[in-house]
Amino acid sequence: MNAENGLAARNVPQVAARKSRCIELPTSYSVSLDKVIKELSLETVYMPTSPEKIFITSKDVNRPGLELTGFYDYYDPTRIMIFGNTETAYLHTQSVEERVRVLDAIFSKTPPAVIIARKLEPPPELLQMTRKYHVPMLTTPEPTSSLVGALVAFMNVELAPRITRHGVLVEVYGEGVLIVGDSGVGKSETAIELIKRGHRLIADDAVEIRRVSAKSLVGQAPSNIRHFIELRGIGIINARRIFGIGAVKISEKIDLVINLEQWDSHKVYDRMGIDSEYTEILGIKVPVLTIPVKPGRNLAVIIEVAAMNNRQKKMGYNAAQELLQSLGMDLSTIQEQETKLDLDL
């Protein structure tokens, strides 16, 4: 019995570890109000505490409409609240008692902040409720629509779902190219050659990828390793210090994934470019090119050509299709195949 108990005790951490690997807990992100104020150049009307200690977790904003009439069923207090011409004008049509009742119900749920657009003069009851419930009040001369657009765009980036993956992200002719592959295949060395040829480094070794919209991925380096590159035999170098500020960039949209792999003489590589391969990153399809690595192949030049060719395809031109047409082949009989590659991204 003791032996069985001991075996069970040894197996408990292993079972727990397996369960923890299987369960993916949802991750929420936040942005400080101070960062929002600096990004949108907002002015402070009332601030109950330091804006660095106030965090926003919702990327959506709220322009109170039905809430001002007393309907609160779908009111989300985690959103920043914006008052424009319509909201302030409607409040002025109400009696003082009605304004106090409605605003008290709204601000009792303590939204993270309230912003007054167009530098409008808020009703005294609005400022009274922000002070009562310690809700920051900010103002800006921007029109309401411009303010909402800028705030939503900023919050979509700051609160976007994200992952960190092994690879190198470079900008080549305006295209964001994510270079992936096994360790030691030459990703960092290829990035150095691209930098020497006038392109820009975004991230080496660890790339933080954010889904900023339904179709867009943006990559950047973690702040503590930004601009650094590891080269075997040399060590750590600072690309910004060596090559200058023009050789680096903070972030870049991911347009293409280059998968570097050792040359396999038994594998058939694509030599036409009619069919396409893609991978999914955070649910978004990204085109993939598999480039075999072999002595004598200049990877930097190949990636430059791949980036320009990908740009041409996005603009509607396909060189392979033009060649087949010039050979008299009917493109309607050729079906383009799209294959998904699992690159663990």
Q: Give the max Cα distance, the chain.
A: 82
Q: Per mean pLDDT, which range of 21-30, 103-112, 195-204, 276-285 is the poorest? A: 21-30
Both tokens of 225, joined, read 């390793």
Query: How many CA within 13 A on the CB side of residue 119?
Result: 6
User: How confident is the prediction for the chain on average, in pLDDT?
Assistant: 89
Query: 46 phi and psi, to 5 degrees?
Result: -150, 130
Catalytic residue among 35, 118, 205, 226: 205
Taking residues 296-312, report their average pLDDT.
Answer: 95
Q: Which fold has domain 31-158?
A: 3.40.1390
What is this structure's pTM?
0.80
Question: Is the predicted pLDDT of residue 114 greater than 80, yes or no?
Answer: yes
Q: Is 205 a catalytic residue?
A: yes
Is 162-340 in the same CATH topology as 31-158?
no
Residue type, 50: S
Both tokens of 236, joined, read 């750590």
pLDDT band at 345 (very low <50, low <70, confident <90, very high): low
Domain boundaries, the chain: 31-158, 162-340
Question: Is the predicted pLDDT of residue 4 greater than 70, yes or no?
Answer: no
Q: Which residues contact 336 (CB under 8 A, 6 or more apart)?
A: 274, 275, 276
Q: What is the pLDDT of residue 246?
A: 95
The number of residues in the chain equals 345
Local structure of residue 256 (DSSP, 8 states): E
Q: Is 118 a catalytic residue?
A: no
Read off the pLDDT of residues 262-271 as tens digits, 9 standing for 90 and up.
998 888 887 7
Q: Is 210 a catalytic residue?
A: no
Number of neighbouring beta carbons within 10 Å of residue 93: 9
Catalytic residue among 10, 19, 215, 271: 271
CATH of the structural domain 162-340, one choice from 3.30.470.10, 3.30.565.10, 3.40.50.300, 3.40.50.1000: 3.40.50.300
pLDDT band at 328 (very low <50, low <70, confident <90, very high): confident
Query: 249 phi and psi, to 5 degrees?
Result: -150, 150
Q: What is the pLDDT of residue 27?
A: 58
Both tokens of 98, joined, read 């009605």
Catalytic residue among 187, 210, 227, 249: 187
Read off the pLDDT of residues 221-256 as tens digits, 9 standing for 90 and up.
999 999 999 999 999 999 999 999 999 999 999 999
Q: Is 35 a catalytic residue?
A: no
Query: 194 phi and psi, to 5 degrees?
Result: -65, -40
